[in-house]
Chain A
Amino acid sequence: MSTVIASSEDVHHPGPQTQERGQRAVFCGLTSIIWLHRRIQDAFFLVVGSRTCAHLIQSAAGVMIFAEPRFATAILGERDLAGMADCHEELDRVVSELIARRSGINRLFLVGSCPSEVIKLDLETAAAKLQTKHENRVRISAFSGSGIETTFTQGEDECLKSTVAELPVLEASKQNLIVLGTVSDIVEDQFRRLFDDLGIKDVHFYPGRKAGDLPAVGKGTRVIAAQPFVGETARALIGRGAELISAPFPLGAEGSKAWFEAVAATYGVDEERVQQVLEMPYQRAKRAVSVHRSKLEGKRIHLLPDSQLEIPMARFLSEECGLGINEIGTPFHDQLVMRGELARLPKEVPIVEGQDLDPALSRVRASRPDLTVCGMGIANALESEGLRTKWSIELVFSPVQGFDQAGDLAGLFAKPLARQEILEVGSWS
């Protein structure tokens, strides 16, 4: 099976019209560890990097997660760089220390960083060597979350891609469905109930709650992305025979409905049954979104590049909440996973791929949108200039997928505007 190609008349929006290069204000892929280590409950992420890497993760996590975290940094020192210490021996020592300390860990990811990439530390080979040593104790592999190769959510893509080769082969006679990309536990449970009702069996969420939850993959595998930042993993799964289902992402009532319908269609689920199963949650989601619509309708929004969720969010806000889109920024564009989104996006919306921070901020200042979606480093700076913002990391850290989160999703955007109306102190203008 190959990918489902959307017919060309479905593609209304051509994708990014502009590419920008310049200063970027995005996290690196290491940031993905913050949610991955909560999602995969028996995995440990060991970044091999610098003090900057350690500081980044703890700062981006904001509130420090002080249940002893399942991530750490092996900080490279002068001795490692000068070749006075053998990095592989050092890593061996650090990993043994770690494994002795954390008995509940079944999976260890060595995570590459900018410095480890630049000094060409081969973590894959290191992982293979360490695997031999700890063979019956813990599964060890490597991926890169470095800023020179990945932005923010791409760290998850690299992590998942690195495990695709380990997935067992699906027997030729069998079929299964892989839902790709981290979703929260509650979203997983809701989705499972709906797939059950649709009669779709053998559904795997990838990544799963345990590192050992590895779905089989083969010619009978269908893949649907739950997140927009899993393109490389999707390609790797296609490479192992899977079929990628093209759909918008399950954000909002319409996005969720189209997402489930796309899956049901490839399974040939009876149309009537599909409507019967989806009607109630769909109507409930529309009601929940409509609560916030009065706050959002007619407002203008600018989305600065950050999490890859920009295009789906803009689609949801324009399609279901009546917002006008000034500009969508996206760190990079992946046509493979965005096709289903672009089909629903007004053709004239400007999409800018890449970033040049200061000119982009100048555009925001010039057009003064009602709301700007941006990273945490920028939000207060814009607020102090009288612009309302929504920090994008919250969109990644909150359960927003599916029918029963559609209202919460609209609420995330409505809240800054509601706050502006409530506060009788100072001025936002």
Chain B
Amino acid sequence: MELTLWTYEGPPHVGAIRVAASMRDVHLMLHSPQGDTYADLLFTMIEREGRRPPVTYTTFQARDLGSSTAEMVINSLRESAERFKPQVLLVADSCTAELIQDQPGALALGADLPVPVIPLEMAAYTRKENWGAAETFYQLVRGLLSRQAPPPGTERPPREPGARPSVNLLGPTKLGFRCRDDVVEIERLLSSMGVDVNVVAPLGASPQDLQAIPKADANVNLCPEVSDLTCSWLARTFGMPTITTIPMGWGATRDFIAEVASALGLDIDVDAVGESRLPWYSRSIDSTYLTGKRVFVFADGSHAIAAARVARDEMGFEVVGLGTYSRERARDVRAAAKEYGLEALITDNYLEVEAKVQELQPEMVLGTQMERHIAKRLGIPCAVISTPAHVQDYPARYSPQMGFEGANVLFDTWVHPLIMGLEEHLLHMFRDDFEFNDSVGPSHLGSEGEGARAQDPSSGPGETDGAIVWDFEAEKELKKIPFFVRGKARRNTEKFAVEHGLTTIEVDTLYDAKAHFSN
């Protein structure tokens, strides 16, 4: 039993619904109690979908248990097949249905339905949403393609001379982060390389489209949370290479181009494919103030890893924390964290993430909807970079995260919550200005975060449990340091005092510590 306040991911069957809702001509029959239909609003409200997801729920009640739930499954299957006439009918249990063991998959296979059935095992008590999406996508692809599979060990024939190279974009789904726009951006990028996109799936694909997957030369594993399993099966079964670079940020986009070129045997000049404004914007002098800003990154595995790279190498930030809620990606995120000299935070406990942010006192948080709330409460600027996300993170405008335009979007989105360079200097200089001070927040953002800033994160005892006392003057001097670095100054000074065996911090201690830590 695990105490949970907020959950980063829904249950696995929500992942199954995401795959079904992303596709055309697929219907999901979900054996589930009344109430599980709440999942519809994730799509219609958060992503503003103009249709209900293609799901029929059995919505059994207590009075049905023990007698008629299996019958309800059969009826729902027949009605869904009849009413929606899908090319494929997916069949799954939600958590409660898993307990009553009606085996809807087996019932469906024995029901002589006029439509192919793919049963899913959702493992509600051990797995979560992204796993459910990955498993559903995999079962669909495998179910539809295994008959086409060549005998094991068959060499993949080379591309026919004169044929245009092509890839599949695998992984984008509804309720993914900016998937709609990333697909457009990556299609555009590939097109400028002379590479065709054969199938995009699950987003927008029909089961018939999935059958064409093996025609491409390679698979782009665009959202590994959803497509990893499928890409490795396609690699094993059809010998299709997998492109693994996530083209997020300027450098990763260039790496992606190079990887695609190498996988498809193309001779491509990376510089000629496209360009982003990010490198120049980052080098322009206004961006100097971004240097060494301490950022905390927490997201799904692929967005966390990609964002950390952009943060350090392309924005000039210092990555002070890196983590993910997806345990399936823990190994990758741990490895990435090592490169930044960090220990990765792998947890789906929102309270642990909050405690970590509080401890690290970063100047910026790149996270999910959850971290937005944590940051708001602590008065720290934040940009959302990953699911789970809320309705405001499904914008009307074109706003990809991937490719060269995606790099531009990242630059803008991450700089926007921060106080501008010269403004930051003025705040340093005129700390007591009654109209213009750090408790008001960035001047271009109205009063966002104002309430939170009222609670000073640097006030109250630090980690020294009262062993060290700040004298009156030093405390006053500390308050002259801007809000966003005051917590760090307090911690550093106390650390310095402990290291030097001091019990009282005076004004000079503060400046000694400043000098000490500035090298």
Chain A residues engaging chain B, CB cutoff 8 angstroms:
23-31, 48, 50-52, 54-56, 58-60, 62-64, 66, 68-69, 72-78, 80-81, 85, 87, 90-91, 93-94, 97-98, 114-115, 117-119, 146-149, 151, 358, 375-381, 383-384
Least Cβ distance of B80 to chain A in Å? Answer: 9
Q: A393: nearest residue on chain B (CB-CB)?
A: B41
A377 touches B37 (CB 8 A): yes
CA distance A46 to B497 in the complex (A): 44
Residues of A contacting B37 in the complex (Cβ-Cβ under 8 angstroms): 23-27, 377
Residues of B contacting A114 in the complex (Cβ-Cβ under 8 angstroms): 33, 35, 95-96
Chain B residues engaging chain A, CB cutoff 8 angstroms:
1-7, 9-11, 13-14, 33-45, 48-52, 56-62, 65, 76, 79, 83, 94-96, 99-100, 124-126, 128, 369, 373, 376-377, 390
Q: A355: nearest residue on chain B (CB-CB)?
A: B59
Residues of B contacting A149 in the complex (Cβ-Cβ under 8 angstroms): 61-62
Residues of A contacting B5 in the complex (Cβ-Cβ under 8 angstroms): 68-69, 72
Residues of A contacting B33 in the complex (Cβ-Cβ under 8 angstroms): 28, 114, 146-148
Interface pairs (22), CB distance under 8 Å: A23-B59, A48-B1, A50-B125, A51-B7, A55-B11, A56-B38, A60-B41, A62-B45, A74-B4, A75-B1, A75-B4, A87-B1, A90-B1, A146-B62, A147-B59, A147-B96, A149-B62, A376-B44, A377-B37, A377-B40, A377-B52, A378-B40
Residues of B contacting A90 in the complex (Cβ-Cβ under 8 angstroms): 1
CA distance A68 to B60 in the complex (A): 33
B7 touches A74 (CB 8 A): no
Pairs of residues from A and B, 8 with the lowest C-beta to C-beta distance, nearest first: A28-B35, A147-B35, A377-B40, A384-B50, A90-B1, A114-B96, A50-B95, A55-B10
B41 touches A377 (CB 8 A): yes
Apart from the given pairs A56-B36, A77-B2, A376-B44, 17 other A-B contacts in the complex at a CB distance below 8 Å = A26-B35, A28-B38, A50-B125, A52-B95, A54-B4, A64-B369, A87-B1, A91-B1, A97-B3, A114-B95, A114-B96, A115-B96, A147-B34, A147-B96, A148-B60, A148-B96, A377-B45
B373 touches A66 (CB 8 A): yes
Residues of A contacting B39 in the complex (Cβ-Cβ under 8 angstroms): 59, 377
A24 touches B34 (CB 8 A): yes
B57 touches A23 (CB 8 A): yes
A72 touches B34 (CB 8 A): no
B7 touches A24 (CB 8 A): no
A52 touches B34 (CB 8 A): no
Residues of B contacting A66 in the complex (Cβ-Cβ under 8 angstroms): 373, 376-377
Residues of B contacting A62 in the complex (Cβ-Cβ under 8 angstroms): 45
Q: B48 is contacted by which of A74, A148, A378, A380 (Cβ under 8 Å)?
A: A380
With contact pairs A28-B33, A74-B2, A148-B65 given, residues A51 and B373 touching in the complex (Cβ less than 8 Å): no
A58 touches B41 (CB 8 A): no
B4 touches A73 (CB 8 A): yes
With contact pairs A27-B38, A147-B34, A148-B65 given, residues A72 and B14 touching in the complex (Cβ less than 8 Å): no
CA distance A149 to B1 in the complex (A): 23
With contact pairs A23-B59, A50-B11, A52-B124 given, residues A74 and B1 touching in the complex (Cβ less than 8 Å): yes
Residues of A contacting B1 in the complex (Cβ-Cβ under 8 angstroms): 48, 74-77, 80, 85, 87, 90-91, 93-94
CA distance A146 to B99 in the complex (A): 14
Residues of A contacting B51 in the complex (Cβ-Cβ under 8 angstroms): 381, 384
Residues of A contacting B34 in the complex (Cβ-Cβ under 8 angstroms): 24, 26, 28, 147-148, 151
CA distance A114 to B59 in the complex (A): 11
Residues of B contacting A383 in the complex (Cβ-Cβ under 8 angstroms): 50
CA distance A78 to B39 in the complex (A): 23
A23 touches B52 (CB 8 A): no
Residues of B contacting A64 in the complex (Cβ-Cβ under 8 angstroms): 6, 369, 373, 390
A377 touches B60 (CB 8 A): no
CA distance A29 to B61 in the complex (A): 12
Q: B94 is contacted by which of A52, A117, A358 (Cβ under 8 Å)?
A: A52
Least Cβ distance of B130 to chain A in Å? Answer: 12
Residues of B contacting A63 in the complex (Cβ-Cβ under 8 angstroms): 390
With contact pairs A23-B57, A75-B1, A78-B125 given, residues A51 and B38 touching in the complex (Cβ less than 8 Å): no
Residues of A contacting B124 in the complex (Cβ-Cβ under 8 angstroms): 50-52
B38 touches A148 (CB 8 A): no
Q: B124: nearest residue on chain A (CB-CB)?
A: A50
Q: A377 is contacted by which of B38, B128, B377 (Cβ under 8 Å)?
A: B38
Residues of A contacting B2 in the complex (Cβ-Cβ under 8 angstroms): 74-75, 77
CA distance A320 to B310 in the complex (A): 60
Least Cβ distance of A143 to chain B in Å? Answer: 15
Q: B3: nearest residue on chain A (CB-CB)?
A: A94
A98 touches B3 (CB 8 A): yes
CA distance A405 to B36 in the complex (A): 32
With contact pairs A24-B34, A87-B1, A119-B99 given, residues A377 and B44 touching in the complex (Cβ less than 8 Å): yes
Least Cβ distance of B466 to chain A in Å? Answer: 21
A380 touches B45 (CB 8 A): yes
Q: A91: nearest residue on chain B (CB-CB)?
A: B1
Least Cβ distance of A184 to chain B in Å? Answer: 23
Q: B36 is contacted by which of A48, A52, A75, A375 (Cβ under 8 Å)?
A: A52
CA distance A149 to B37 in the complex (A): 15
CA distance A30 to B41 in the complex (A): 16
Least Cβ distance of A330 to chain B in Å? Answer: 14
Least Cβ distance of A66 to chain B in Å? Answer: 4
A117 touches B52 (CB 8 A): no
